[in-house]
Amino acid sequence: MGVQKDRVRFNVGGRIFETTATTLAIAGRDSLFGAMFDDNWDLQPNVMGTEHFIDRNPDCFAVLLDLLRTGELYIPSNIPEKLLYREALFYGLLDHVRAAMWGPFDGNRLHLAQSIMGRAPGDGTAIRAGPDGGCCVAHGSMVHVYDWMLEEHPPISLDYQRVNDAIWIDSESIVISACERLGRDDGGMGLFSASTGELRYKFHVTHDNQVKSYTGGALSFNSDYKLFSSCKGRSNEYGIGVWDQLTGKQIDFFYEPPGWSLGDADKLQWLHGTNCLLVATLFPRKDNCYISLLDFRDKNMVWCWSDVGAPTTDERRVRDAIAMEETNSICVVNEYEDLGFMDLRSSAGVVRWSSRSRLMKGKMPDEPCYPKLALHEGQLFSSMNDSISVFCGPDWVLTSRLRNSHGGSICDFSIGGDRLFALHSEENVFDIWETRPPPIV
Amino acid sequence: MSSGPKKRNFQIEAFKHKVVVDPKYADKTWRILEHAIHEIYNHNASGLSFEELYRNAYNMVLHKFGEKLYSGLVSTMTFHLHTMSKSIEAAHGASFLEELNMKWNDHTKALQMIRDILMYMDRTFIPSTHKTAVHELGLNLWRDYVIHSSKIQPRLLNTLLDLILRERTGEVINRGLMRNIIKMLMDLGPSVYQEDFEKPFLEVSAEFYRAESLEFIECSDCGDYLKKAERRLNEEIERVSHYLDAKTEVKITNVVEKEMIANHMPRLVHMENSGLVKMLLDDKFEDLGRIYNLFRRVADGLSTIRDVMTSHIRDTGKQLVTDPEKSKNPVEFVDTLLDKRDKYDRIISLAFSNDKTFQNALNASFEYFINLNPRSPEYISLFVDDKLRKGLKGEKEEDIEIILDKVMMLFRYLQEKDVFEKYYKQHLAKRLLSGKTVSDDAERSLIIKLKTECGYQFTSKLEGMFTDMKTSQDTMQGFYAAHAAELGNGPTLVVQVLTTGSWPTQSSITCNLPAELSALCEKFRSYYLGTHTGRRLSWQTNMGTADLRATFANGQKYELNVSTYQMCVLMLFNDTDSLNYREIEQATEIPSSDLKRCLQSLACVKGKNVLQKEPMSKDIGEDDAFSVNDKFTSKLRKVKIGTVVAQKETEPEKQETRQRVEEDRKPQIEAAIVRIMKSRRVLDHNNIIAEVTKQLQSRFLANPGEIKKRIESLIERDFLERDDSDRRLYRYLA
């Protein structure tokens, strides 16, 4: 008869579907289909005429079945996305759906997928991309959390204190750092559940065996489950604190040396290759810029640079810095979006500014936003006013520019989960940029 | 119509019908699921509809009954585990483990199916409430209600330990079942495996091996004991690979190592007639390899072996170098040293895996005992002398290199390298002057080795000697070319011009040369001084040789190879038949000790006695008379008449060499002191001694007393001064 042995027949909400066990196997063991056809359950998919009834929406089933068949997702306009997501969750196919929604990240192939209007008052502070496509946005003293379906979860706050930085530890946990409230043990840092918004634990700072309140600043973590934060204590206990992410216990503290700045840092970046932490304090938080690499194993500042004593023209003033381990260098940017580079192997810190045309000069918007830098798989991103520039290649050539002027200047952006999130300074708008799934041929 | 008044009563009521799910809904749904879980545990799942159960579980979570579902699951599963626990407890004897294994398989299978049904809860409800996931929950409950049940826990442990004991004593056990049970403990988490099995297992094993090792050590020798220990170790490693956690390997081998090796090390090593010393003596490479590999595993194991080996080498080495019998023959002496060194080299490379620390210990031991005999430098030089004279004949170049390298190795052990240099110079001079050196390449190769070892300074004089030899050849050619006509058929003179200082010359009185020769010598002198102005020549007649043609009364002709002294004596007999000792001494002016030795070799050595002596005694008396031995015959036409001379130095000579060595050391010690003080300016006594000793180490071991004397001497000569406030301090005076 030539009938395929592994044919499977479903009756979903009254509609008959036929497929094969092979197609269903793509769903994986941790899905309804994987469990259903396990040997434990005496179901015989290959017995002719057996029909497996499933009491679900047949339209969504058709879409999801096609997803298993082709690996691609097409949502007809008559199906609300939310319904589809719910059905996918029922079958245990939500991860498959997410993977099919957008392609692997490429800064030169991004398109604006969506713009979300926030409802929080006041300016946005920071936006952080989560590892699986969600994001969190800090507004004043609150952090709003969105999952990859861009559904908002309960917001988080640390005693309603002003938030300085937020970071995703994993897809389920966010750490936020906040200012301390005078006279109370408020502020500092806390780890929150991304889905429920509940506080799991706070990170304490101990000086001389005494727990002290402090203001948490920039955050970073490494693969050893260590969490780093710049800290300002009341009695000049400035420096970089180190905690164990899993237990929340403080394990180290790098005190700020005299004449230097660590506790006020704007940016921390863990360097996996050299096992060092980049700490950058920048204008205008301080009058001068201080960039240093800390080695915590022997409590040593292995590299440092500062513009103290140098003539401070705007062209020379570093507004953001990022370490690029592949080329052993640090990239910096000034307020005109000129890029500069420093060699990490030589201790004489000289910034080589690359001379790019200063198109922006002279036509600053009313509320300018200063450049921020990000690095992703060999592509360098720099935000300036209402656009983000993408630079590639060994000489960092400008290859793309992302612009969405609704909402004004971009005050922060973040890349993660194969998405780029850009937060605008007005109206709390943030944009989601994605790479489209790969073409068919 | 009665609707009128009713209409007045119309009022808008609050919306009472909140969407309320049937209150019994949750109970009903749970009952379905509970029933299914019972059926699954009762092996009766074929009648269940997966889709229905999945949907029901989904709905319970969706409608906020997750908590009810979860607690229901816990209590239902707990119920079944209690039942299982009872049935396992009831199992008799050997079937206990099998029953446990069977129930464990049932439980894991049921757990998997329950997890399938509750997949949606696992995915959504559990993470957001931070509860334990279904699979882990099932394992935890099994651990708490089955494995940790008071009637099962001790019984399980005893059964496992008993089976392992039985396997150790040679019985065959069901390893598959063992593996399953151990795997179950591991699945329950590392702490369960460790607490409920590994810890007691290690304790019991320690006891077992403690007892066994005591029993073994009483009835076996060292080699056998180690074989048994090795076998036990391998058995445990094999056991781990068959049915235990791989991480246990280190722990159990540590136990065996401690109980069987570490606790018995001294006794094993020093075992009478089979211990380490015996193995070393008999070159038991296999046993030595085993002892090395086993002892390496425990702390201080290798150092124990090393110490025993070291003291053994030192003791035997000391015996060797202080044995007066061995000292009689220097070549044999050095050969024995080299053999000993080869033996231990082989042991270290074959049995001790070329362990660096053992090589170092070997070197230190050799250094220790070689320097116990003050004559070692002389003997080593004599050994080289012997090899370079004749010993290397017929040997290939590589072999020569090997021998020379070995000699260099011994040389490195010497503390008094300058003494060696003295002797080497003497011996080399003899070789060069008598033309006895076999291979110029070999000579030079050794000098290069000495140079790399000790530096340019050490060999510059030795190299000077080679240069002299070469220059002398050229000079002689020049001399004969210039005087070819006059010299004709007279005796041939070969002069070797030696630079003063490079050679170990002894200031000796020039003897009276025969007339023919002294004329020739004068010619050479004027030739040489004519080409090299400003130099002075003095004849070292004690170092020369001569070839004489002698015709005896019976008409026999021989060619005699003699020393210059001997030549002078023999030439006297050209003019007369008999001379007494005094006449000879007068005519030649050879120093009496040399003359006696020279006459002894001419008259008293059988087969080479070209002279005869009256009376015919062994020793030379002042009144003895000598005449040509007309009956002299020899099978060879060429007769070499050696001088009676001990190859080794005699006691007074030794004293002299020693003295010269001491003399030479003085300026070196002074130079070192000045060098150090120049850079340090101020230094205390002990530190000077230490630094000087260190600086001179490559040449000799400086005697602190001597260094002190040199310091005093330097103070006298105003190079140094004592500090006024601290008398232990010295200051450098620029």
Interface of A with B in 119-138 (CB under 8 A): none
Interface of A with B in 160-199 (CB under 8 A): 172, 193, 195-196
Which among B490, B633, B636 is positioned nearest to B552, based on CA atoms?
B633
Flag if B119 and A43 touch (Cβ within 8 Å).
no
**Angle between helix B397-413 and B356-370 (nearest 10):** 70
Interface of B with A in 333-362 (CB under 8 A): none
Return the higher-pLDDT residue of A348 and B470: B470
Q: What structural domains and CATH numbers belong to chain B? A: 24-146 (1.20.1310.10), 545-640 (3.30.230.130), 654-732 (1.10.10.10)
Cβ–Cβ contact A211 with B under 8 A: no
pLDDT-based confidence at residue B720 (cuts at 50, 70, 90): confident
Residue A174 is predicted with a pLDDT of: 94
Q: What is the DSSP letter of B462?
A: H
Question: How many interchain CB pairs under 8 A, A with B?
Answer: 47
Interface of B with A in 482-511 (CB under 8 A): none
Residue B391 is predicted with a pLDDT of: 56
**Angle between helix B285-295 and B222-243 (nearest 10):** 50
- Sheet containing A290-295: give its strands across: A267-271, A276-281, A290-295, A300-306
Contact B628, B651 (CB under 8 A): no
Name the residue type at position B16.
K
Interface test with A, best of B52, B119, B131 (most A CBs within 10 A): B119
Which among A124, A151, A148 is positioned nearest to A137, based on CA atoms?
A124
Query: Which of B48, B54, B116 lies nearest to residue A38, judging by beta carbons?
Result: B116
Q: Which residues on neighbouring strands pair with residue A323, listed in sequence order?
A: A330
Residue B153 is predicted with a pLDDT of: 93
**Angle between helix B651-680 and B417-433 (nearest 10):** 130
Helix, coil or strand: residue B563:
strand
Q: How do the residues of chain B divide into helix, strand and coil, expressed in percent and rounded to 5?
A: 65, 5, 25
Name the residue type at position A29.
R
Cβ–Cβ contact A366 with B under 8 A: no
Helices and strands (H, E) in chain A, number of each type: 5, 33
* Residues of chain A with C-beta less than 8 angstroms from the C-beta of B127: 172, 195
Q: Per-residue pLDDT tens for B553-571?
A: 777 788 888 888 888 888 8
Helices and strands (H, E) in chain B, number of each type: 33, 9
Q: Per-residue pLDDT tens for B238-263?
A: 999 999 999 999 999 999 999 999 99
Mean pLDDT of B88-105: 91
Q: Per-residue pLDDT tens for B39-82?
A: 999 988 887 888 899 999 999 999 889 999 999 999 999 999 99
Residue A45 is predicted with a pLDDT of: 46
Residue A76 is predicted with a pLDDT of: 93
pLDDT-based confidence at residue B11 (cuts at 50, 70, 90): low
Distance in Å, alpha carbon of A116 to nearest chain B alpha carbon: 25
**3-state secondary structure string across B224-272:** HHHHHHHHHHHHHHHHHHHHCCCCHHHHHHHHHHHHHHHHHHHHHHCCC
Per-10-residue mean pLDDT, chain A, length 441? 71 92 90 86 59 91 95 92 94 93 92 85 85 92 92 90 92 92 82 91 88 91 92 86 91 90 92 92 86 91 86 79 90 86 81 66 61 92 90 89 85 93 87 90 80
Kindly list the distances between the CA atom of residue B401 and the CA atoms of B387, B395, B441, in Å, as whole numbers in the listed order: 12, 10, 10
Query: Closest chain B residue to A196 measured between Cα atoms?
Result: B128
Q: What is the DSSP letter of B295?
A: H
Distance in Å, alpha carbon of B182 to nearest chain A alpha carbon: 24
Tell me phi and psi for residue A351, to 5 degrees: -90, 125
Ranges of H-type helices in B590-703: 592-603, 651-680, 685-696
Query: Which of B50, B58, B113 lies nearest to residue A90, judging by beta carbons?
Result: B58
Query: Closest chain A residue to B109 measured between Cα atoms?
Result: A40
- pTM of the prediction? 0.69
Residue A190 is predicted with a pLDDT of: 94
Query: Which of B109, B119, B123 lies nearest to residue A40, judging by beta carbons?
Result: B109
Residue B646 is predicted with a pLDDT of: 43
- CA-angle at B457, arms to B451 and B458, nearest 5°: 55
Cβ–Cβ contact A55 with B under 8 A: yes
Residue B537 is predicted with a pLDDT of: 81
Flag if A92 and B119 touch (Cβ within 8 Å).
yes
Q: Report residue B51 as tokens.
A: 């889709």
Residue B563, Cβ neighbours under 10 Å: how many?
Answer: 24
> CA–CA separation, B432 vs B463, rounded Å?
12
Residue B48, Cβ neighbours under 10 Å: how many?
Answer: 19
Residue A130 is predicted with a pLDDT of: 94
Query: Which of B55, B112, B128 lies nearest to residue A195, judging by beta carbons?
Result: B128
> CA–CA separation, B154 vs B147, rounded Å?
9
Residue B572 has pLDDT above 70, yes or no: yes
DSSP A143-193: EEEE-TT-PEEEEE-STTPPEEEEEEEETTEEEEEEPPPTTTT--EEEEEE
Helix, coil or strand: residue B631:
coil
Kindly list the distances between the CA atom of residue B568 and the CA atoms of B13, B317, B542, B563, B643, in Å, as whole numbers in the listed order: 157, 47, 11, 9, 14
Cβ–Cβ contact B58 with A under 8 A: yes
- H/E element, A403: strand A397-403
Cβ–Cβ contact B135 with A under 8 A: no
Mean confidence (pLDDT) of chain B = 85
Flag if B54 and A43 touch (Cβ within 8 Å).
no
Flag if B50 and A43 touch (Cβ within 8 Å).
yes
Residue B482 is predicted with a pLDDT of: 80
Flag if B55 and A55 touch (Cβ within 8 Å).
yes
Flag if A35 and B116 touch (Cβ within 8 Å).
yes
Q: Per-residue pLDDT tens for B674-714?
A: 888 888 888 888 888 888 888 888 778 888 888 888 888 88
Query: Which of B113, B123, B128 lies nearest to residue A40, judging by beta carbons?
Result: B113
Distance in Å, alpha carbon of B185 to nearest chain A alpha carbon: 24
Cβ–Cβ contact B55 with A under 8 A: yes
pLDDT-based confidence at residue B636 (cuts at 50, 70, 90): confident
B12: exposed, middle or buried (Cβ count in 10 Å: 0-12, 13-18, 19+): exposed
Residue B219, Cβ neighbours under 10 Å: how many?
Answer: 8
> CA–CA separation, B408 vs B403, rounded Å?
9
Residue B347 is predicted with a pLDDT of: 93
Tell me the range of B293-307, B315-329, B577-591 where mean pLDDT is highest.
B293-307
Cβ–Cβ contact B105 with A under 8 A: no
Residue A46 is predicted with a pLDDT of: 47
* Residues of chain A with C-beta less than 8 angstroms from the C-beta of B120: 89-90, 92
Helix, coil or strand: residue A335:
coil
